[in-house]
Amino acid sequence: MIALVISSGTNMAFPTIMGKVIDRTAGREDAGSRIPDKVFFAGAFGIFACGSIASWVRTYSIGVAAHRIMQRLRTKLFGRLLEQDVAFFDEHRTGELVSILTEDTEIAADTVTGKAANGMRSASSALNGSIMLLTLSPRLTLVSIALLPLVGVGAMGYSRRLKRLAARQREDAADASTFAEERLSQLRTVRAFGRERAEAQWYRELCDGSTELARRAASARGAFMGGLSASANASLVAVLYFGGSLVARGAMTVGDLASFAMYSSLVGLGFSGLSSFAADLSKGLASAERVFMLMDATPAVPLDEGLTPPLESVRGELVLEGVTFRYPSRDKDVLCGVDLRVPAGAILALTGPSGHGKSTLAALITRLYQPTAGRISLDGVDTATLSPSWLRGAVGVVEQDPVLFAGSVADNIKYGRPGASAADVEAAARAANAHQFILEFPDGYNTKVGQRGRQLSGGQRQRVAIARALLWDPPLLLLDEATSALDAESERLVRDAMEKLMDRENRTLLIIAHRQSTIQKAHTVAVLRDGRIVESGSYADLIARSGGELAALMSGGELAA
Ligand SMILES: Nc1ncnc2c1ncn2[C@@H]1O[C@H](COP(=O)(O)OP(=O)(O)O)[C@@H](O)[C@H]1O
Ligand SMILES: [Mg+2]
């Protein structure tokens, strides 16, 4: 701040000193008040040196402050984003979120530091310059500001137009980056269908939209800048013309006129700086608004508010009563009044045709979404009153299509429990039938799995995910059985791993199953169709029922043998 004042102060002194230099050489200054040349120039250079140092300090401290603010905004925002509901991510595009996280935080930080400092400097040049102009010559000042109102009107229209264009440009950029992110991360699908050129063309079209907007913004900026420099030139000509006549009449010295001309260009720069600051400010405010809108978004399902009974006391009885659910983005109920009871330590296989709500039910049990109606309870306690993060510690999940993170195999198995020992990791991997193939990798447990675990096969990924859930060691485990991407051998290994889990006594298991062998091993089988449990009982009873749902699914080939 001090540096800012000093550096703009020396900037302001510059024209006066220059005027004095001219008058000094022209011999116009009063001989009586004359300071010796040596002292005068030493003083002038001293002032300039102070100005340079202050300018360094200002640039440095603003640069550092801007970065700190940006980092703080980013880390805070990222933390907030991770706390948002799963439904939030159904509605927001990743590209948009990433651009707010990276670009808007930067713009907002730059606005309150560098841009604000520039604005203050401009304001001070405009203000102090105007005062200097008035003291040098009030009449000439009037001449020089004659065009100012016109410039002001232009600046306002310009900034409004720019704001509109910038908003649309952002939308387009978010579309394009979401598109690019998705296509690049799913390159195999693009390649499989030979869509490389077509996708490139599509991307070009997405970008072309913003090119047109950029062209319009640039044209507006050009028009404004052109107008600004024309009016600056016109006012300079007017100043020199009238000033010249004042000098000729002896009402002003040449040096004062030169100072005046320099001050008026400083004032001009000040005003143009202010107008671009106004544009920057509106852009910065828009960015800040987006950042704070996300920052203030409160998840409907908070992370860790609610009861946290001791985990050891959990028996694992799960009861669903009249559970109804509709995705916020859809207008039809996916689940309509589901009633289901899984006794502690039991194995329940949930089966049914694809797309009828099985995975959705699993998501509701861990409260990734909030049921629209009905109640889910664990050991008789409504899960809505439990702390969601505690609940997720008690209910482990192996998703249908699990995703691993870039890092080593061991890192992925330890994801929920980073402090786990190597022995525990290995035990979990053995239980999940993963130990063998991991040992065959060149680096064993330290082998990198690539982004999203892409360097592993589907069956390997599935088994690493099972190991990850086992190390988490929850009293209740939800397994969404993988149906795709598994060859016969890894399918057998995955199934074997799951069946080993089913043999363990002390854990409640809810398995979303598609295979007869899995279903057969469960104590109870429930069939979900059209969002309702249409049948439940033991496998033997259900399969024997003539006209039963399970029997129909089996004979219809919808479930694998
Ligand atoms: N995130 C989501 N947003 C909106 N609809 C979804 C979402 N996930 C799944 N659905 C819809 O919910 C229905 C049930 O899906 P799901 O529970 O995955 O079925 P299943 O696991 O039985 O195959 C489907 O019609 C699907 O289109
Ligand atoms: Mg599913």
Q: Is the pLDDT of residue 322 over 80?
A: yes
Do residues 410 and 265 both lie within one domain? no
The CA-based angle 450-455-459, given to 5 degrees, is 125
Q: Is the pLDDT of residue 365 over 90?
A: yes
Nearest CA to ligand 1 atom 5: 327
Tokens of 437: 């193939």
Q: Would you say 305 and 88 are in contact if contact means Cβ atoms under 8 Å apart?
A: no
| 199 falls within a domain | no
Task: Tell me how far the alpha carbon of residue 360 lies from the centroid of ligand 1, in angstroms.
Answer: 6
Answer yes or no: is the C-beta of 530 below 6 A from any ligand 1 atom: no
Do residues 285 and 389 both lie within one domain? no
Task: Tell me how far the alpha carbon of residue 32 lies from the centroid of ligand 1, in angstroms.
Answer: 93
Q: How far apart, in whole angstroms, are the C-alpha atoms of residue 153 and residue 367?
A: 55
Do residues 148 and 284 both lie within one domain? yes
pLDDT of residue 376: 95
Mean pLDDT of 226-234: 84
Do residues 315 and 236 both lie within one domain? no
Q: How far apart, in whole angstroms, are the C-alpha atoms of residue 218 and residue 350?
A: 60
For position 24, which CATH number holds? 1.20.1560.10
Question: Counting atoms of ligand 1 from 1, which one is nearest the CA of 360?
Answer: 17
Tell me the pLDDT band of 291, cut-offs 50, 70 and 90: very high
Tell me the pLDDT band of 11, cut-offs 50, 70 and 90: confident
Tell me the pLDDT band of 335, cut-offs 50, 70 and 90: very high
Mean pLDDT of 326-351: 91
Of 176, 164, 204, the residue nearest 98 (C-alpha): 176
Q: Domains in the chain: how many in total?
A: 2
| 305 falls within a domain | no
In this structure, which ligand is nearest to the CA of 89? 1
Q: How far apart, in whole angstroms, are the C-alpha atoms of residue 49 and residue 137?
A: 29
Do residues 362 and 413 both lie within one domain? yes
Task: Tell me how far the alpha carbon of residue 281 lies from the centroid of ligand 1, in angstroms.
Answer: 44
Q: Would you say 514 and 351 are in contact if contact means Cβ atoms under 8 Å apart?
A: yes
Nearest CA to ligand 1 atom 19: 355
Tell me the pLDDT band of 332, cut-offs 50, 70 and 90: very high
Q: Which structural domain, as residue segments, surrounds residue 253?
A: 2-167+226-296
Question: Counting atoms of ligand 1 from 1, which one is nearest the CA of 353?
Answer: 22
Tokens of 492: 């057998």
Tokens of 460: 């390997």
Q: Which residues contact 486 (CB under 8 A, 6 or more apart)?
A: 458, 459, 462, 494
Q: Would you say 475 and 314 are in contact if contact means Cβ atoms under 8 Å apart?
A: yes
pLDDT of residue 227: 86
Over residues 146-180, the pLDDT tens digits come to 777 787 788 788 878 888 888 888 888 888 888 89
Do residues 291 and 323 both lie within one domain? no
Tokens of 15: 């024209």
Answer yes or no: is the C-beta of 355 below 6 A from any ligand 1 atom: yes
Tell me the pLDDT band of 440, cut-offs 50, 70 and 90: very high
| 351 falls within a domain | yes
Half-sphere exposure of 318 (CA within 13 A, CB side): 25
DSSP 561: -
Do residues 33 and 163 both lie within one domain? yes
For CA atoms 209, 214, 219, 224, the dihedral sign is positive
Answer yes or no: is the C-beta of 356 below 6 A from any ligand 1 atom: yes
Instruction: State percent of the chain over pLDDT 70.
Output: 94
Tell me the pLDDT band of 503, cut-offs 50, 70 and 90: low
Question: Counting atoms of ligand 1 from 1, which one is nearest the CA of 327?
Answer: 4
Question: Counting atoms of ligand 1 from 1, which one is nearest the CA of 329?
Answer: 4
Segment among 78-82, 380-384, 476-480, 556-560 with least mean pLDDT: 556-560
| 188 falls within a domain | no
Do residues 237 and 344 both lie within one domain? no
| 252 falls within a domain | yes
Tokens of 540: 């033997």
| 212 falls within a domain | no
| 209 falls within a domain | no
Answer yes or no: is the C-beta of 354 below 6 A from any ligand 1 atom: yes
Q: Is the pLDDT of residue 86 over 60?
A: yes
pLDDT of residue 109: 92
Task: Tell me how far the alpha carbon of residue 335 lies from the centroid of ligand 1, in angstroms.
Answer: 10
Answer yes or no: is the C-beta of 351 below 6 A from any ligand 1 atom: no
For CA atoms 492, 494, 498, 503, the dihedral sign is positive
DSSP 299: -
Tokens of 261: 């001309």
Do residues 408 and 474 both lie within one domain? yes
Highest mean pLDDT among 21-35, 411-425, 477-491, 533-547: 411-425
Question: Is beta strand 335-342 parallel, antiparallel or unpaired with respect to 318-325?
Answer: antiparallel
Query: What rounded mean pLDDT belongs to the chain?
Result: 85
Q: How far apart, in whole angstroms, are the C-alpha atoms of residue 108 and residue 116?
A: 11
Do residues 14 and 104 both lie within one domain? yes
Question: Is beta strand 395-398 parallel, antiparallel or unpaired with respect to 476-480?
Answer: parallel
In this structure, which ligand is nearest to the CA of 355? 1
Chain centroid offset of residue 287 CA: 12
Do residues 285 and 366 both lie within one domain? no
DSSP 115: I
pLDDT of residue 325: 95
In this structure, which ligand is nearest to the CA of 482? 2
| 207 falls within a domain | no
Answer yes or no: is the C-beta of 326 below 6 A from any ligand 1 atom: no
For CA atoms 466, 467, 469, 470, the dihedral sign is positive
Torsion of Cα atoms, 32 then 33 then 37 then 40, to 10°? 180
Write the DSSP assignment of 495-528 as a string of letters: HHHHHHHHH-SS-EEEEE--BHHHHHHSSEEEEE
Question: Counting atoms of ligand 1 from 1, which one is nearest the CA of 363?
Answer: 17
Do residues 291 and 320 both lie within one domain? no
Q: Is the pLDDT of residue 504 over 80?
A: no
Mutation to probe ligand 1, out of 93, 324, 327 (largest number of atoms < 8 A from CB): 327
Tell me the pLDDT band of 80, cut-offs 50, 70 and 90: very high
DSSP 313: G
